[in-house]
């Protein structure tokens, strides 16, 4: 069961990926975790990735794919895995397809958690954080008892720059131009499934499980 999670930032795909991993007993793999593990363990691939990150440049598609392929070759991935945050672009998807095909493998399910931009802007722009204790709130879904004040430590809550509507829209624009084309790519491969991400966490999870089962 080789799964790719797709969806715009704030669609909730990361949360769903963790729940799926737990239910089906397969690893949830994010590129961020792979980078950190390889850099920490000072592997050859990790050293190459660190050189790019230290320069503030993007890690090339080929190297990112090598890191992912190296990770999914581990024993814990024998029954499958969920990739979260990779591939992000068509070249990355093509590199992954080519790498898996060497061993006669392919992605079994590409799942798109579909949420309209307007919902995502509302979800993310309502987020407020406490810089002192790390607690997070939402103006609509999880407001603090006193507006603008953290329930836990009494500090003022902050509206971070990356949670402001104009910043969120920029991230969505990048997603639509770079990552959304993957929906068509995996549709042509015959493994694309779409779920309505505007529903409750439990309902979205039930829809995904129905696809996988």
CA neighbor of 31 nearest in space, from 120, 122, 96: 96
In 20-73, beta strands by DSSP E: 28-30
Question: Given 36, 40, 160, 199, which residue is catalytic?
Answer: 160
DSSP β-ladder status, 81-84 and 28-30: parallel
Q: Which residues pair with 138 in a beta bridge?
A: 127, 142
Question: Given 2, 13, 71, 123, which residue is catalytic?
Answer: 13
Question: Given 18, 48, 132, 171, which residue is catalytic?
Answer: 171
Question: Given 2, 123, 127, 128, which residue is catalytic?
Answer: 127
In 41-185, beta strands by DSSP E: 81-84, 109-114, 127-129, 136-138
**Tokens found for residue 177:** 């131009």
Is 2 tagged catalytic?
Answer: no
Is 88 tagged catalytic?
Answer: yes
Is 127 tagged catalytic?
Answer: yes
Question: Given 18, 50, 88, 122, which residue is catalytic?
Answer: 88
17/47 Cα distance (integer angstroms):
28
Q: Which residues are catalytic?
A: 13, 88, 127, 160, 171
């Amino acid at each position: 069961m080789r799964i790719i999670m797709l969806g715009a930032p704030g669609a909730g795909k990361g949360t769903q990926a963790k729940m799926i991993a737990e239910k089906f007993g397969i690893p949830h793999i994010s590129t961020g975790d792979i980078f950190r593990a390889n850099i920490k363990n000072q592997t050859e691939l990790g050293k190459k990735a660190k050189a790019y990150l230290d320069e503030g440049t993007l890690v090339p598609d080929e190297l990112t794919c090598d890191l992912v392929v190296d990770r999914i070759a581990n024993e814990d991935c024998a029954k499958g895995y969920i990739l979260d945050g990779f591939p992000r672009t068509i070249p990355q998807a093509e590199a992954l397809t080519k790498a898996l095909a060497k061993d006669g493998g392919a992605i079994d399910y590409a799942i798109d958690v579909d949420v309209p931009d307007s919902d995502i802007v509302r979800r993310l722009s309502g987020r407020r954080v406490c810089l002192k204790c790390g607690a997070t709130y939402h103006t609509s879904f999880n407001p603090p008892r006193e507006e603008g004040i953290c329930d836990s430590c009494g500090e003022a809550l902050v509206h971070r720059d990356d949670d402001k509507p104009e910043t969120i829209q920029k991230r969505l624009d990048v997603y639509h131009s770079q990552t959304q084309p993957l929906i068509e790519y995996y549709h042509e491969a015959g493994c694309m499934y779409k779920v309505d991400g505007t529903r409750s966490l439990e309902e979205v999870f039930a829809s995904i499980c129905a696809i996988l089962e």
